[in-house]
Amino acid sequence: MNITNHHVEELKDPTGILSGDRYEVMLDVEVPEDDELYSEQGIYIKAIFVRDENGARLVQSAIIERNTESFLDFELEEDEERLLLAYCEEHIA
């Protein structure tokens, strides 16, 4: 998996209940044709990235097919989650 681009939007908690900073992250990814995540339409990953007193983590992620906006019924593997987390930690202020 190769992350080619991203878009970030900070999520505000109007209630003040949630601690830390939360971001909705859209990650454009490329995967090889032999990968189970491959789609001719292309895919992107929508994730919620949190940075708080407990550190940085991904609390939610979904794999979405471009053009159809269909959610693909796949879970990210541990190494893919680590890659996404490392990318978010590096690129999100």
Q: pLDDT tens digits for 53-74?
A: 999 999 999 999 999 999 999 8
Q: In whole angstroms, give the CA distance from residue 93 to residue 83.
A: 17
Confidence band (pLDDT; 50, 70, 90) for 44? very high
Q: In whole angstroms, give the CA distance from residue 47 to residue 58.
A: 7
Strand ranges for 1-93 from DSSP E: 2-11, 21-30, 43-52, 55-65, 71-72
Q: In whole angstroms, give the CA distance from residue 8 to residue 87.
A: 12
pTM: 0.89
